[in-house]
Structure 1
Amino acid sequence: MERRVIRRLVGAGAGFVVLVGFVVAASAVWTSRQASGHIYDVGAAPRAPVVIVLGTLVRDGRPGEYLTGRLDVALQLLRDGRAEVALVSGDGAGRSGDEVAAMTKYLVEKGIDPSRIVGDPYGLDTYDTCVRATRTYGVGKALIVTQSFHVPRAVALCRGVGIDADGVAAGCDCSTITMARNTVREWLARPKAILDLLTGRDPVVVSESDDVLGNALDVAG
């Protein structure tokens, strides 16, 4: 009797592992297809009115390694004229600090006019950033900047909510272990991305339409 129960438990566990593996693999294929042809290195990036910079860890009010890599790409895009305005989107009350304030300060210190920077402190995850970019700030076309392992999901999500988005891969002065850990985490996040798009959930924070980004584009133009 005990052996039979054990065999059933082992079989159920194996079935669950296979199911999870299938879901992760299928979501990876879908994400890659949605982003195909829409990912560039910074030197080959197309033009767009807005560059969206996704927030992440800050340390003592300064961008961490990942965020610095993203901001440096955004800087080049703004300086080259391939984007007019930066939408810096992250958690304004994150555990590590105010991501949006840190991003804004970094860009300004590097010579970007503050009038060309719009901050969204409620971009609590990638999906929320994309939804809020179009619903709240009226973004219809944009470049979105993040690390290479994250770019496909970011592009797929933004395109899935109606933004004509192209991704630009950022570098990172990170350890191999850190990159590997985040790559695995990214694979596991892709099924949720599909679920978010299928359900069309609202972002955690819903805000009324705001003309601040359109005004910034008028000034920059």
Structure 2
Amino acid sequence: MSASRRGLRRVWPWLLLLGAALLLGLVLANRVVERAAVGRLYSSTRDVPARKVALVLGTSPSAYGRPNLYYTARMDAAAALYRAGKVQDFILSGDNSTRFYDEPSAMKRDLMARGIPAARLYLDDAGFRTLDSVVRAQKIFGQSSFVVVSQHFHNERAIFLARRRGLDVVGYDAADVTGAGGLKTQVRELLARASAVLDVTLLNAQPKFLGDGIKIR
């Protein structure tokens, strides 16, 4: 037997052990995130507890040259909450890292087109990731109790992060996306959940930017 094959036989059990540990970590992180959101997610505006403010989590308005169904569903969900009288104001939190890419302004435009007054829409230009959006809702916009608006899987993670900060948050689930695109997002979500658990349990992660407070009238 060659030296390389002998080396591989010695390393192989450790690789299997590492793979099993990573898989277990993903499963446990997923379970922790799911449990944090139990009893706090709603799919009907009738059942959502009323709050003054909703935090709408951003994503790209388009994907591969076509409308992003995740984005469209979130805008529809936010407008439904407003029409149902469940929220009065909105924090539109997303990525505006360059002048060529501006999620919050796109959300403002599209929610105004759905009948929400501009005065009810507050832009958070530094919502680069879910943790940033949740923490900034508290630290910049002064909100400790709000409705988060995104798809079910994303709301679970946002609620987990919010509850670790002591915030009273519920989620209103926008319509999900099925098919190959939805499956890809679900797989990516498993990694995002592991990262979220690490951020709050070991890394004490903070938003990339904070800044001056913005008062919601």
Q: Same fold (TM over 0.5)?
A: yes
> Is 1:206 equivalent to 2:210 in the alignment?
yes
8 Å contact kept, 1:134–1:162:
no
How far residue 58 of structure 1 moved from its aligned partner, in angstroms, is: 2.1
Partner of 1:64: 68
Question: Percent identity at matched positions?
Answer: 31
Partner of 2:50: 47
Partner of 1:31: 33
Q: Deviations over 1:118-144 (max 9, x none)?
A: 010100000000011101111111110
8 Å contact kept, 1:63–1:102:
no
May I ask how many residue pairs the two structures share in their alignment?
A: 212
CA distance in structure 1 between the aligned counterparts of 2:138 and 2:146, rounded to whole angstroms: 10
Report the residue type matching 1:45 in the other structure: V
Partner of 1:194: 197
Q: Note the residue ranges of structure 2 that are not aligned, 5 or more in a row.
A: none
Q: Deviations over 1:152-190 (max 9, x none)?
A: 111111222222100111114x45100100001001111
8 Å contact kept, 2:108–2:121:
yes
Partner of 1:151: 155
Moved more, 85-94 or 128-137: 85-94
Q: 1:164 aligns with which of 157, 165, 168?
A: 168
Partner of 2:17: 15
How far residue 45 of structure 1 moved from its aligned partner, in angstroms, is: 1.5
8 Å contact kept, 2:61–2:72:
no
Report the residue type matching 1:26 in the other structure: L
Moved more, 86-95 or 31-40: 86-95
Report the residue type matching 2:42 in the other structure: Y
CA distance in structure 1 between the aligned counterparts of 2:44 and 2:198, rounded to whole angstroms: 30
SS in 2 for 1:53: strand
How far residue 96 of structure 1 moved from its aligned partner, in angstroms, is: 7.4
How far residue 35 of structure 1 moved from its aligned partner, in angstroms, is: 0.8
How far residue 5 of structure 1 moved from its aligned partner, in angstroms, is: 1.1
How far residue 41 of structure 1 moved from its aligned partner, in angstroms, is: 0.5
How far residue 8 of structure 1 moved from its aligned partner, in angstroms, is: 2.0
CA distance in structure 1 between the aligned counterparts of 2:122 and 2:213, rounded to whole angstroms: 14
CA distance in structure 2 between the aligned counterparts of 1:45 and 1:129, rounded to whole angstroms: 21
Distance 1:178 1:105, change over 3 A: same
Q: Note the residue ranges of structure 1 that are not aligned, 5 or more in a row.
A: 216-221
8 Å contact kept, 2:95–2:128:
yes
TM-score, normalised to structure 1, is 0.89
8 Å contact kept, 1:141–1:165:
yes
Q: 2:126 aligns with which of 112, 122, 126?
A: 122
